[in-house]
Structure 1
């Protein structure tokens, strides 16, 4: 059946997943650039913000989206991967694009690709660009999938570049050192276009690339900074005109405060005014599924049990998750149900989380990259933890009480699988 005859989104997605699985990664800009050029989508919005980084990309996009839509601007946001459904990847003013609009976009992109083969991710980026152009968005926020330099989103020139953090992840694709990985992520920088780096420790290759392309660089700890108190925090940085600005008494966000600091610097560099109230309300309102998401479920005795879902799948994310668990203690036990990809640094993730986990349960998901339960079990045992395998989430909840909590962690696949079960 030709994809041009598809009328349902599920048909398009089934075709996409069976002919070009998401696990088949093919980096490069030649294919996607040709298709976007054919479809006149190389500039899907008057202002484009590209967000790269090892961790914090999704939170940064969510915060930007919340602030800018709350300020009355027409905003498109592209993120990946999704947790519940493909529509989550493409939003207009915080609302997921409809199945019908996505079908129209897939048809148009498939027509314009001609003989060009596109990967799953390239198709998704092109579909997002089409949806943004059709909706006449003023600001398009594009989250990089992998790296930066050769990622499909980088075929679209940004008007502002953001790199949240850099840590070891995807070494098979990006390099074995922080500097190598940072150099790949710095590939989203453009000549003369402002770039923001959101972590206090700035790799040299970030600075070198900014100098090479003459991109004004705004670094956390240098051009902008924050101070945090118990119930509020303060931001200091620079405006688009180069003036110093101090913002006081900001609300503590539900998402990571470091990303909120980066986002404020981004907002201050936009040609779109945002008031203090719009900034504060947007920060307080921002949420992101699967990032320390709490859901309360009942055990067999009808007692409430807290379940925390977090997609942490690399050492940097695990350290941040451990901090949040330590700051948010429970009087009982913390049990963890974990499943991961075998190409992730799963040993470090387990070692980092081990001090805050009382009991472990290992699982696996359906993917050629999935880590075997036996391998994950061995790592937990090496940490001295008690471990069970292939235990249903409901059974773990049933052995927990209202003073305990269950952590579901390890990847988007893990969170997607169990979060869907929890909310059914």
Structure 2
């Protein structure tokens, strides 16, 4: 699809490419479909950016699964490219090679190449980003590319690249305007990443029928949590039981407790067992223990105006399933004092359910909104908190205040602050730690 006034810029700096991209095709301007990106990817020879590609879809847990996979594969010595979205601080976070963000110059060069090959084809923000990542991976000759799906699966830009292994972490209600009103409809869209004969993993014990139906339809071997693989959790370690790529039963004992969600770690172990690459027990353990992901129950300590340490937890949870996981994490990680939450959300999210789920573990709320046409007015979010019996300390109709202005009000270092609701909320307050 071509657009009026679309043109081919001549930029050298990444910042110039991003300014142009965000001005002419903002992230909110989504047009799902693969015809445009396939045409450009074919012309630029980017349909196979690495010898082995793993595509990860799901409502929640995609980023954690990619982070765990990356950590394990790097521990095993492989050259790995990762594409994720969205970013928190910098666009560079979306494209990494061996765990390091790709430099501005390399990204700028890839933007120029993609723009050259698109001709008169209009590409969205996400289509540009995926092709830029693919070009970086191909230039650096990565062995394994990890591709995180942005929205759904079937029509997402990442799905132009055929995977050698498909992973669907979970399915829950989110993005209903784009993906469907029911779990089964949403699952069907996410199952669109499956390919004929290519193994597929489903990481949640409750599996939608449409996932099974699609695996049968395309004859993709399906590995389900609770059926083909599962885990048993002990006090400080856990064990995994499942099948390897030969279909033989395997069992792994005394795995280290991950910093990220253990369900995603279980999925990653199953993925590793299906790879045509060797990963030792020690490498697997090292990768699981080392894996981190910014904005997913990320704990930092800041000083208030009295130089007292205050614990802050950043979590991008923005739908009911993620909120339930976060609530359990907060219960398992208590503090002596109060837990306060600063929350701001998009209006198209199920904010009432998110607030209702978190309410039992939140003592007091700071309600805010961020600068976006999709932002939920703080007054409506406040109403949802009050309806759940929550105590609102403040209701800020402007972008979230600097973190220090909030933590300064917290006089007891026995308290903690939770920053939650979306990537936008976390990005507004989180600094590099």
Interval of TM-score (by shorter of Structure 1 and Structure 2):
over 0.9
- Structure 1 residue aligned with 2:404, among 364, 389, 394? 394
Instruction: Tell me the equivalent position of 2:364.
Output: 359
1:340–1:371 CA contact under 8 A, matched in 2: yes
Contact 1:68–1:75 (Cα < 8 Å) also in 2:
yes
2:283 is aligned to 278
Check if 1:328 corresponds to 2:333: yes
1:412 counterpart (423, 426, 430):
423
Aligned-residue offset at 1:24: 1.1
SS at match of 1:196: strand
TM-score if structure 1 supplies the norm length? 0.98
What CA deviation, in whole Å up to 9, does each residue of 1:31-85 have, x standing for no partner?
0000100000001101000000000000000000000011111110000000010
Unpaired stretches in structure 2, ≥5 consecutive residues: 1-5
CA offset digits 1:113-155 (Å, max 9, x no partner)? 0010000000000000000000001100000000000000000
> Residue 223 of structure 2 aligns with which residue?
218
CA distance in 1, matches of 2:272, 2:39: 31
CA-to-aligned-CA distance 1:375-409 (integer Å, 9 cap, x gap) = 00110010111111127332321221210000000
Secondary structure class of the residue paired with 2:174:
coil
Mapped partners of 1:178, 1:203: distance in 2? 7
Q: For residues 248 and 241 of structure 1, what CA distance do their matches in structure 2 show?
A: 20
CA distances 1:186-212 after superposition (whole Å, capped 9, x unpaired): 000000000000000010000000000
2:8–2:116 CA contact under 8 A, matched in 1: no
Runs (4 or more) in structure 1 with deviation over 2 Å come to 1-4, 391-396
Structure 1 residue aligned with 2:63: 58
Equivalent residues in 2 for 1:23-422, closer than 5 Å: 23-387=28-392, 388-390=394-396, 392=401, 393-400=403-410, 401-420=412-431
- Structure 2 residue matching 1:343: 3-state secondary structure: coil
> Any unmatched runs of 5+ in structure 1?
none
Counting matched residue pairs gives 422
Deviations 1:273-292 (A, max 9, x none): 10000000000000000000
> TM-score normalised to the size of structure 2?
0.96
Secondary structure of 1:210's counterpart equals helix
Secondary structure of the corresponding residue to residue 32 of structure 1: helix
C-alpha displacement of 1:2:
6.3
CA contact (8 A) 2:205 2:224 kept: yes
Q: Answer with 392-401 or 367-376: which moved more.
A: 392-401
Q: Name the structure 1 match of 2:3.
A: none
Could you tell me whether the CA contact under 8 Å between 1:218 and 1:224 is conserved in 2? yes
| Structure 1: distance between partners of 2:124 and 2:27 | 8
Deviation of 1:371 (Å): 0.3
Deviations 1:318-338 (A, max 9, x none): 000000000000000000000
CA apart distance, 1:3: 4.9
Cα shift readout 1:337-394 (whole Å, capped 9, x = no counterpart): 0000000000000000000000001111111100000100110010111111127332
Q: Is the 2:57–2:167 Cα contact (8 Å) retained in structure 1? A: yes
Cα separation, 1, equivalents of 2:198 and 2:290: 29
The separation in 1 between residues aligned to 2:409 and 2:128, in whole angstroms, is 44
